[in-house]
Amino acid sequence: MASATQAKYLIIGAGIHGLSTAYHLSQLLGDGKDILVIDKDDVAAGASGIACGVVRNNYYQPAMRELMAHSVDVWEAHADALHYHAVGYMQISPEVMHEDVASIAQQQKDIGYESTFIEGEADCTHYMKQYFGDWQAQGITSVLHEKPGGYANNSLAMNGLAKMAQDAGVRIQGQTEVTGFKRDAAGSVTAAQTSQGEIACEQVVIGAGPWAKQFWDMLELPSTVSIKGADGQLHSDIPMWIYWSLQEGTLGVDPDFLKTDSGDMPPVIHVDSTAPLHSTTDGSLVTDEMWGIYYKPDFHFGGVQGGAAPFPVERDPNQVAVDPYGPKSPEFIVGSDFAEMWVSALAHCQKRFEGKVPMFKKEPSGGIGAFTPDSFPVFDRFCDNVMFLADSNHGYKMIGVGKLVAEELLSNQRADLLKPFRFSRYAEGDLHPTSNSPFPWS
């Protein structure tokens, strides 16, 4: 492959952030001839290609909620090209989360994001049975039904986004692995050193997903951070990167298996519960601690796809940074007890899933996520001319980040929606609030 030797705007990573930035930058410039996207493999070859594809606004954090409302607008504006299903999203929760979810509902109302909030166990059960006659989850006291949102077909959406960018003149070059950067005396990046030769550049955008640490280290950015806590004390030597195994999988049924009683495709379902979870195989106790799952029809893997709370990866972070997906066996990416837990949780919610554990498909889904110290994104400029997009595994749904980054690159003014995600928040103690959800990104 003959490599490009220069690009005014060099974008590293052909996933959601890289392609979105390239497309929106091309629209602002009028064409994409000065934009080059490179990837060590190809479009959607990393996390974006096996992401669950869920698009939601269900965040306890005001900054995340506002950013996601912006991103949902982008998904909806290009729904056909991005294979986006605007079916909505349901957050279904126990009493311990009632106050948090009520706060989300009120703040969605305040920003004009359409949703319906149901409270009380009897009313919640009635509401869910309007969609699914076999709904049987116990202990649910709130349902927040977001009317916008839904999901996209992961790799098809990325290929659609790549085509949108290429149609605007953006160059996309695969099989080009970055091995280092050249920098001038002031520290600005002047070129990327790659497996296909050196590429001179004026501006760099890095959207590397789980490979974030690898590029962070190439730029000689700090391996640890100091975080000012709520107590005003500075907590030092906190690792910048940790890795979690994202627990996701697919049940090998027809996607239509999850249709509502009226024959419609359902909203994305997310259930958190404090009810004891028992095996749908033999009735044994799976867990008596709080658990959470999400699920939806899936047209990429073919079936019902979803996941549960992730767990930390017990491996050398430097090794994971080099090869987040290796080894690629499903047993590494998904814990051995995930199928039993997830399908049992599905059966706890809907009778149609009882006894379906043998239909769980043994294939990689989810993968490894590179998380920041507070599990929220860092979108910031480093080395004068490098925009680093570290999504902390919130990435796929945040398609609107690329639009904001493109605007920043051309205006040289910081986008208001990205300000809460600057690196400086750690030292300043300007952290995002956390909820009672069992998921680290909530």
Q: Convert the pLDDT of each residue in 61-113 to its tens digit.
A: 889 999 999 999 999 999 999 999 999 999 999 999 999 999 999 999 998 99
3-state secondary structure at position 88: coil
pLDDT category at 395 given cuts 50, 70, 90 is: confident
Residue 304's pLDDT is what?
96
Omega of the bond leading into 327 within 30 degrees of 0 (cis): yes
CATH class of 89-147+242-371: alpha beta
| Token pair belonging to 232 | 């005003």
pLDDT category at 184 given cuts 50, 70, 90 is: very high
**What's the distance, Cα to Cα, between the start and end of the chain in Å?**
43
Residue 93's pLDDT is what?
97
Q: What is the mean predicted confidence (pLDDT) over 322-346? A: 71
Round to whole Å and give the CA distance between 145 and 88.
Answer: 7
φ/ψ (deg, to 5) at 219: -90, 0
Diameter of the chain by CA atoms? 67
Q: Extract long-range pairs of 22-25: CB within 8 Å, 24+ residues apart.
A: 22/165, 22/170, 22/172, 22/402, 23/161, 23/164, 23/165, 23/168, 23/170, 23/402, 24/402, 24/403, 24/405, 24/406, 24/407, 25/402, 25/405, 25/406, 25/409, 25/410
Residue pair 304/296 in contact by the 8 Å Cβ criterion:
yes
Find out if CATH 3.40.50.1360 is the number for domain 1-84+150-235+375-442.
no
Task: Give the chain's radius of gyration (CA, Å).
Answer: 22
Residue 365's pLDDT is what?
65
What is the domain partition of the chain in residue ranges?
Answer: 1-84+150-235+375-442, 89-147+242-371
Residue pair 270/58 in contact by the 8 Å Cβ criterion:
yes
Residue pair 49/162 in contact by the 8 Å Cβ criterion:
no
Query: 410 pLDDT exceeds 90?
Result: yes
pLDDT in tens, 353-387: 999 999 998 765 667 889 999 999 999 999 999 99
